Chains A and B, each alone.
Chain A
Amino acid sequence: AQSVTQLGSHVSVSEGALVLLRCNYSSSVPPYLFWYVQYPNQGLQLLLKYTTGATLVKGINGFEAEFKKSETSFHLTKPSAHMSDAAEYFCAVSSSGGYQKVTFGTGTKLQVIP
């Protein structure tokens, strides 16, 4: 069984401030972990992913996330928020085999305050 918990359905940060979006997962097998971003009226766009190897992964638009197995976490960070970062962010966990069952978190809406 696998599940994802995103802490905070809404997060507000000031422009230029650190962005931290939290994600904790559970998985009975080594997980693949993803962050997606969704802008209004659009589909989900892959930000970054962890499958194997280096636990600190860098993605598009200056975002990065660190896989911490001991904490079962995969938090998303960005050092300095831009107005264009305002969107909804989804954390997801999947298995590596079979049809690739992906379980999504319920999303965190990021508001960037000028």
Chain B
Amino acid sequence: DAGITQSPRHKVTETGTPVTLRCHQTENHRYMYWYRQDPGHGLRLIHYSYGVKDTDKGEVSDGYSVSRSKTEDFLLTLESATSSQTSVYFCAFRGGEGADTQYFGPGTRLTVL
């Protein structure tokens, strides 16, 4: 167990509705990340955080926002969900000896109808 959880694990929503995914870590790691996984694309970075209230964009950030008000929680929000945002979303933190490795949560499968 990597000490990271995601909620919900599955969600089905309608186009145009807002959606928030939550990532929670228990080990006080500074860096956290949100990725999406799509067939043929591997994992692509959406946003990352390097501390409370410190966030920045990744390579596929359009349509997504994030917030980090506490070290342990990193939220991903789809302001107005679209079908192209149907994906599996993974959260990760940077840790390990040397803080050189990303460890992943179990994922959230999001379907936008």
Contacts and interface: CB of A to CB of B under 8 A. Distances in A.
A105 B42 contact: yes
Contact of B100 (A32, A43, A101): A32
Contacts, number: 48
A94 B99 CA distance: 12
A28 interface: no
A67 B100 CA distance: 17
Contacts of A102: 43, 45, 102
A96 B100 contact: yes
A90 B41 CA distance: 11
Nearest to B99: A100
B50 interface: yes
B30 to A, nearest CB: 10
Contacts of B43: 44, 90, 102, 104
A112 B103 CA distance: 26
Contacts of B103: 46
A99 B42 contact: no
Given A100-B94, A104-B43, A44 B104 contact: yes
A97 B106 CA distance: 26
Nearest to A90: B42
Nearest to A44: B104
A74 interface: no
A43 B106 contact: yes
A99 B56 contact: yes
A19 B47 CA distance: 35
Contacts of A51: 98, 100
Interface in B30-73: 31, 40-45, 48, 50, 56
12 contacts: A9-B40, A42-B106, A42-B107, A44-B90, A44-B104, A49-B100, A51-B98, A90-B43, A96-B100, A100-B102, A101-B45, A102-B102
Interface of A: 4, 9, 32, 34, 36, 41-46, 49, 51, 90, 94, 96, 99-102, 104-107
Interface of B: 2, 31, 40-45, 48, 50, 56, 90, 94, 98, 100-107
